[in-house]
Amino acid sequence: MPLTRYGLREWLVITVVCVAVAAVAAWLSWWWWIVGVALVWLALVAFFRDPIRRVPTDLAPGAMLSPADGVVSKVFSVDAHEAVGGGPATVVRIFLSVLDVHVNRSPCDGEVTSLVHRPGRYLDARREESAKVNESNLVTLLAPWGDPVGVRQVSGAIARRIVCPLQIGDRVRRGQRFGMIKFGSTTELILPHPERVTVLVREGQRVKGGLTLLAELALGPAAAT
């Protein structure tokens, strides 16, 4: 399975260290050590896997694909969210365990209009408080029909590095890779106009980045015409 370029440094270091340990074990005829090292290498490198996926193409403009692999941990609405210009929003939160693919993907086509990185704590991503106080990176996209769409990458207790090479003005396609959160973490999809949002997943449901349809945002009157 392909490995993500976002983890190039880590999986190269892991490979070099494991090869060195295996070489010493072979010299000492510690064959079980070699088996153990191989298993450790497979487990660690698996964190950086990047499966090839056929992104759906026959979707309506407002269809939102999952920005991450994991389990839907919460679906809720807020009265105001900066990702959508300070107005009300619907948020779909996804929890990524250490066993999930950690590459993030764009939920829709759009242009990057804002990038907000905030330092913070590293609480367990399964705790409700973690989504509010942990290190995070908020990406705001301007969809082709004019609505803002947010994706927030949130670190966890093990995840200590958020990768997002995007820059303001970049254009992304639905399902396109745009970064990763290294090891367990949380990713949120933030949509404006809750009255126009239909959430298609439920809490506890497993989703896949770039494949699972999370929600549909009906186009406003201006966009529809």
Phi then psi for residue 86, to 5 deg, are: 85, 5
Q: Cβ neighbours of residue 86 under 8 Å, at least 6 residues apart? A: 80
Q: Which residue has the tokens 């207790």?
A: 157
What average pLDDT does this structure show over 117-132?
A: 73
63-219 under CATH 2.70.70.10, yes or no: yes
DSSP characters over 128-155: TTHHHHB-EEEEEEE-TTS-EEEEEEE-
pLDDT of residue 223: 60
The tens digit of pLDDT for each residue in 128-146 reads 766 777 889 999 999 999 9
Instruction: Mean pLDDT check: name the lowest of 32-41, 97-106, 190-199.
Output: 32-41
pLDDT of residue 43: 78
pLDDT of residue 175: 95
Q: Which of 179, 216, 213 is nearest to 56 (CA)?
A: 213
Enzyme catalytic residues: 185
How far is residue 114's CA from residue 201's CA, in Å, rounded to a whole number? 27
Q: Which residue has the tokens 């949002």?
A: 197
What average pLDDT does this structure show over 99-122?
A: 91
pLDDT of residue 2: 81
What integer best gives the mean pLDDT of the chain?
Answer: 88
For the chain, the structural domain boundaries read 5-46, 63-219
The tens digit of pLDDT for each residue in 6-31 reads 877 777 888 888 888 888 888 888 78
How far is residue 192's CA from residue 60's CA, in Å, rounded to a whole number? 17
pLDDT of residue 55: 93
pLDDT of residue 126: 66
> What's this model's pTM, rounded to 2 decimal places?
0.88
